[in-house]
């Protein structure tokens, strides 16, 4: 179903802060005081990375701990599918049904292979609701990459992208990797924003663009892979020989996506 249900779950378990004492101090205390305890979709205590990720970590724990972590943040209006995209990437699953808005912020670690190098992404899922904006601003500053989502069935979420990009300019580092994603691309009949409009906006702001679907999985892995590639090659200063082919691959796979060179 493409219809966004307007229910809100004003709650967040502080489990998402377990591995980050600083966050625990900054955020969780106030939330614990004011909100009932129901876990946010990505902040659950029993979280286990998929077996292939665990295996990678077992093989070379030393290297992984020494490896640079790339802080990657999902941004966009409430209901555009940030949590769903992350859950799909992380678990391969899509949970349809009642929409429960994210409260606060939480992260998931993922390792992505880019040309025999493991790139560690620490992916933060933020709450899209306006009232949490001041919390999420604090996280922009040290972000290496931002995935900015709109919902192709929701014109307001697309119109708000300019405001989001303004905030990014204000709070994030100048060299942050930005990927614009038009999510819910599976929703044919309800579509309100054409792919070309997304592409045009991305060109205007000189950012990468793809259409995605957390439901069908379209371009979900590819979006994170493209971000990891960009981070890797920026970090090493090497030329990405496969960059062109990734863009071609994106087009061929979906006929619905485009990734102009980031920041060029």
Ligand X SMILES: Nc1nc2c(ncn2[C@@H]2O[C@H](COP(=O)(O)OP(=O)(O)OP(=O)(O)O)[C@@H](O)[C@H]2O)c(=O)[nH]1
Question: Distance between alpha carbon 231 and the CA centroid of its chain, in Å?
Answer: 14
Closer Cβ to ligand X, 41 or 120, answer by number: 41
Q: How far is the CB of 210 from ligand X (least distance, A)?
A: 12
Residue whose CB is less far from ligand X, 100 or 258: 100
Task: For the CB of residue 238, give the shortest distance to ligand X in the complex, in Å.
Answer: 34
Q: How far is the CB of 215 from ligand X (least distance, A)?
A: 4
**133 C-beta neighbours (distance < 10 Å), count:** 12
Give min distance, CB of 11 to ligand X, in A. 12
Strands (E), 79-197: 105-114, 117-126, 145-151, 177-183
Whose CA is closest to 96, among 41, 43, 154?
Answer: 41
**Residue tagged 């485009």 (tokens):** 258
Query: Which CB sits closer to ligand X, 7 or 48?
Result: 7
Nearer to ligand X, 51 or 97 (CB): 97
83 within 8 A of 39, measured Cβ to Cβ: no
Instruction: Tell me which residues touch ligand X (CB under 6 A).
Output: 2, 4-5, 76, 78-84, 96, 99, 101-102, 127-129, 183-184, 186-187, 213-215
Per 3-state DSSP, what percentage of the chain is helix, strand, and coil (rounded to 5)? Answer: 40, 20, 40
Three-state DSSP class for 264?
A: coil
Q: Are 102 and 231 in contact (CB under 8 A)?
A: no
Residue (82 or 110) nearer to ligand X, CB:
82
**Cβ of residue 53: shortest distance to ligand X, in angstroms?**
21
Is 95 or 242 the residue whose CB approaches ligand X more closely? 95
User: CB 154 → ligand X: shortest distance, Å?
Assistant: 10
- Based on DSSP, count helices (H) and strands (E) in the chain, helices before strands: 11, 6
């Amino acid at each position: 179903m493409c219809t966004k249900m307007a229910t809100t779950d004003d709650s967040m378990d502080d489990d998402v802060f377990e591995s980050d004492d600083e966050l625990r101090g900054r955020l969780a205390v106030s939330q614990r005081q004011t909100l009932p305890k129901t876990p946010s979709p990505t902040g659950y205590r029993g979280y286990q990375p998929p077996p292939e990720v665990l295996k990678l970590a077992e093989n070379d724990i030393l290297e992984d701990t020494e490896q640079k972590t790339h802080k990657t943040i999902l941004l966009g209006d409430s209901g555009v599918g940030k949590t769903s995209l992350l859950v799909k990437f992380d678990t391969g699953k899509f949970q349809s049904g009642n929409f429960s808005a994210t409260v606060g912020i939480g992260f998931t670690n993922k390792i992505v292979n880019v040309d025999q190098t493991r790139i560690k992404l620490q992916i933060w899922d933020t709450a899209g609701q306006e009232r949490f904006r001041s919390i999420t601003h604090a996280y922009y500053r040290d972000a290496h990459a931002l995935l900015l989502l709109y919902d192709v069935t929701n014109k307001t979420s697309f119109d708000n992208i300019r405001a989001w990009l303004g905030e990014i300019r204000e709070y994030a580092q100048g060299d942050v990797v930005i990927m614009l994603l038009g999510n819910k691309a599976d929703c044919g009949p309800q579509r309100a924003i054409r792919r070309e409009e997304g592409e045009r906006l991305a060109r205007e702001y000189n950012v990468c663009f793809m259409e995605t679907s957390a439901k069908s999985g379209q371009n979900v892995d590819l979006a994170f892979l493209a971000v990891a590639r960009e981070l890797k090659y920026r970090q090493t200063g090497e030329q990405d020989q496969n960059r062109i082919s990734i863009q071609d691959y994106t087009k061929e796979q979906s006929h619905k996506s485009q990734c102009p060179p980031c920041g060029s």
